[in-house]
Amino acid sequence: MLEKSNFKNQIQKLIKSVENQTYLLAVSGGADSMVLATLFLECGLDFQVAHINYHLRNEDSNLDQKVVEDFCQKHQIPIHVYHVSEKDNKPENSIQLWAREIRYQFFNEVQEKENLDFLVTAHHLNDQLETFIINLSKASGISGLTGIPSHKNSILRPLLEFSKKDIYDFAKENQIEFREDLSNKKNDYLRNKIRNQIVPMLMETNDHFLENFNQSLFYLNQTKTFVDQKMGEIEKQLTISNDQYLILNKEKLEQESDFVQFEILKKYGFDKAEEIKKIFTAQTGSTFFGKEYQILVNRNELIFTKSIIDENLEEEIVLCQENNPNKNLIEIRVSDYITVSNDVDQNIEWFFDADTVAFPIKVRRKMEGDFFYPIGFGGKKKVSKYYKDEKMSILAKQKTWILVDGNNDVLGIFPLRQDKRYARNEKTSRILKIF
């Protein structure tokens, strides 16, 4: 049963000094969020309201907004409304994911602007059950089966212990005005199908189904805490180095169970069984990319590095588009365009004959068949052979760029070695300086 007293007790379990914090409540106008706002009001907490009008249900969307605005106006609560428009680029598919991204971006902006401590959503126990079933169908492991966290990354969900029925009962008893989203009755989305078809059947199997499910979630969360501790101990035993990069012993990790492999690699964004198998059978030099990390396979090592989410992922970057014949000195500061490794001398200066190179001047990653005539060597050398002769590590190779001209001729491996074919000489009148 949902009451003001046990609701406040639930918040106090999540954070300390409840009365001294500030909150942003995500309020849609439905029963869940309107009850949440009413409870925050009754508890005397300092909060503001954020509402998203997606304009997907014509006048119904505007009526939802009016319910929220009327509540806030009546109780003098600051409200922030975002109207979704054409600039938000609604996709043909994945509407739910798109909508989630929009609202959380808006919530984060308001929270930062208003300097509010916590974002609060109205997720409840029935939402937990739906999420559990969805994750069960995705083979998401124990983390997915532990459900929606009640407190994570400054987001609070104090209604997770209460059922949808508890919320409706509280709304009825306290005569709280709210709007029903009739689109939830449609089975267009997986969550709606689970909510409207599967959950009712499960509830029929046991009068205390939700209560027992909640207790099972409690045990699963305790299990996860125990597993995380053990995984940390195992990973520590497998760690070869954790200085500049995390390096794990590939052979030893392969000897562990599929469960251990999954739990350790999942931390770094690799949670697909087929991909995990490929990691252990891949040849030296293979790279696997996740959202936040990438894995480099180096003999018997797995080297984890942060994925580079910037210009370094571009295949080709133009440094200088045109050759200006009126300039005797054309200068290109490469560090203005790419990140240069700290492992090399930063005082690189390469000089070329500007009349012999073709423009535009570009940098790109190594391509199959690349060759050049490196200064200090006798003749032609493949870039891959140069890497091998210099005994460059996989990580070092990934940090290098190939400097090329408009004909795609290699001008050098930046910042390691310049090509001598187009280098400045005694006959040069116009200079191209790369530094």
pLDDT per residue as tens, the chain (435 positions): 999 999 999 999 999 999 999 999 999 999 999 999 999 999 999 999 999 999 988 899 999 999 999 999 999 999 999 999 888 877 766 788 888 999 999 999 999 999 999 999 999 999 999 999 999 988 778 888 999 999 998 999 999 999 999 999 999 999 999 999 877 778 878 888 999 999 999 999 999 999 999 999 999 999 999 999 999 999 999 999 887 789 999 999 999 999 999 999 998 999 888 899 999 999 988 888 887 888 999 889 999 987 654 444 457 899 999 898 889 999 998 888 887 655 555 578 899 999 999 999 999 988 888 999 999 888 899 998 998 888 776 667 777 899 999 999 999 999 889 999 999 999 999 999 998
Residue 79: Cβ within 10 Å count: 16
Listed as own residue / partner, the contacts of 99-105 with beta carbons closer than 8 Å and 24 or more positions apart are 99/52, 99/54, 102/52, 102/54, 103/26, 103/52
- C-alpha–C-alpha distance, residues 413 and 366, integer Å: 9
Contact in structure between 402 and 414 (CB atoms under 8 Å)? yes
- C-alpha–C-alpha distance, residues 141 and 125, integer Å: 20
pTM: 0.68
Task: Calculate the CA dihedral of residues 261, 267, 272, 278 and round it to 10 degrees.
Answer: -60
DSSP 196: I
Contact in structure between 420 and 372 (CB atoms under 8 Å)? no
- C-alpha–C-alpha distance, residues 235 and 305, integer Å: 16
Q: Rounded to 5, what percent of the chain is helix, strand, coil?
A: 45, 20, 35
C-alpha distances in angstroms, 317 versus 312, 338, 362, 395? 9, 8, 6, 21
Query: At which residue do the structure tokens 């929270």 appear?
Result: 111
* Pair of tokens at residue 89: 């680029």
* Pair of tokens at residue 119: 């974002």
